[in-house]
Amino acid sequence: MAAITVTTSTSGNLKRFYGTGTANQSDTLTTTAVADHRRQRLISASIVYSAAPTQTGVTITIDSGVAAAHDVVLHSGTANIRYTYFVPDEDIWLLPGDAVLVSAPAAGGVITASILVVTEEL
């Protein structure tokens, strides 16, 4: 897997982390870890392939700042789906050191994956 170059932008308390991977490559996007004495709430994550993919399904995980044993898979996507949009049905809090990790499997040919994660800093 290759790490996507992450661009970050803010609007008020909202933070957006986004990037596009390389064609036919498994990609990951990891948000910046939450700073000490802060917390964030996960608003949404979206993954869009540039064309109909052949892939095993995207995965959205909380990368725990405590230890890998505390990582939590929030969503495992369906294989071969072009659009994945995850909105938690309950508040998901990210504490200091935590980050959101999105894994997008290679999709074949010249297909790329674009990933966007939105959080709210509180």
- Domains, the chain, ordered by start: 2-121 (2.60.120.260)
60 phi and psi angles, rounded to 5 deg: -120, 125
Mean pLDDT score of the chain: 95
Q: Does the predicted model carry a pTM greater than 0.85?
A: yes
Dump pLDDT digits (tens) for 66-114.
999 999 999 999 999 999 999 999 999 999 999 999 999 999 899 999 9
Average pLDDT over residues 57-71: 96
* Contact call for residues 68 and 121 (beta carbons, < 8 A): no
Residues in a beta bridge with 10: 15
Mean pLDDT value of segment 20-47: 95
70 SS3 class? helix
